[in-house]
Each structure stands twice: as structure tokens, then as C-alpha cells.
């Protein structure tokens, strides 16, 4: 079974803080993705990575950055958290050539 884990289920941060969200997958997948989910907006792609050290902007990258130093780990960084970044953050992975993405349980981030 593919397992995607995220470092925290719930997180509360203050405006202006730097926030790190970690994601680890154990199936040796090359591709990894970060989404945020908001009511009425579905899942929106923030950043993705096709391989180690590689990263591509998704549809809403502003205010975020990512790091992929190892194949199994993909980190999302909020450089200076703002209240409009309060959301559910979802990480996913996929093998090369596959269609299905496997999701982690999500991190519910609240920025006060």
C-alpha cells in the first residue's frame, strides 16, 4: 500500500511566521504535489516536483516555496504566513506514467 504521511494533522501559527509542512512517501514515487483545499474551490495545485531537486509552479504558488532534497520528501514552506493561507494542505505522490495520485491525510493550518 502506498503511504503518504504529513508531519502534522493540525497546526496553528501567527501571521508573519515561517511555516514548514513536511510530506513523506514510501513508494519511491518520482512525482510529488502540494495542494490546498478550500470550500467551494476544490483542490488547487500550489507546487509540484517531477524529481529530486526539481520544482514547478502550480496554479497558486504566490506566498509559497518548496524543497525536494530527497526523493521521498517534499516540503512546502510559507515564507511569511498570512491569514488567507488558512486552509487544508494536501500532499500527493504519483509514479512516473501513472494517472492516480496518492494523497496524505492533510494538514489543517490556521494562521491567526
Partner 1 sequence: DQQVKQNSPSLSVQEGRISILNCDYTNSMFDYFLWYKKYPAEGPTFLISISSIKDKNEDGRFTVFLNKSAKHLSLHIVPSQPGDSAVYFCAAKKGGKLIFGQGTELSVKP
Mode of pairing for the β-strands spanning 10-13 and 19-25: unpaired
**Residue 11 binds partner 1 (CB under 8 A):** no
**Residue 54 binds partner 1 (CB under 8 A):** no
Cβ proximity of 78 and 85 under 8 Å = yes
Which member of 7, 8, 13, 45 binds partner 1 (CB under 8 A)? 45
Instruction: Tell me whether residue 9 or residue 18 sits nearer to partner 1 (CB atom).
Output: 9
CA distances from 98 to 1, 29, 40, 94, 102 (A): 15, 10, 28, 6, 11
**Residue 64 binds partner 1 (CB under 8 A):** no
Task: Tell me which residue has cell 511555516.
Answer: 19
Q: Is the dihedral of CA 8, 9, 15, 21 positive or negative?
A: positive
**Residue 36 binds partner 1 (CB under 8 A):** no
Which member of 46, 101, 109, 111 binds partner 1 (CB under 8 A)? 101
Task: Tell me which residue has cell 529530486.
Answer: 52
User: Smallest distance from the beta carbon of 80 to partner 1, in angstroms?
Assistant: 27
Which member of 44, 57, 71, 73 binds partner 1 (CB under 8 A)? 44
Amino acid at each position: 500500500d502506498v503511504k503518504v504521511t504529513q508531519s502534522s494533522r493540525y497546526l496553528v501559527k501567527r501571521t508573519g511566521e515561517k511555516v514548514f509542512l513536511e510530506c513523506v512517501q514510501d513508494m519511491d514515487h518520482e512525482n510529488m504535489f502540494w495542494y490546498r483545499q478550500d470550500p467551494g474551490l476544490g483542490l488547487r495545485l500550489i507546487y509540484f516536483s517531477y524529481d529530486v531537486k526539481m520544482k514547478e509552479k502550480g496554479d497558486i504558488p504566490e506566498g509559497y516555496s518548496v524543497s525536494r532534497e530527497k526523493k521521498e520528501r517534499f516540503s512546502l514552506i510559507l515564507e511569511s504566513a498570512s491569514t488567507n493561507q488558512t486552509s487544508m494542505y494536501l500532499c500527493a505522490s504519483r509514479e512516473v506514467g501513472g494517472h492516480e495520485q496518492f494523497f496524505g491525510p492533510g494538514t489543517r493550518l490556521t494562521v491567526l
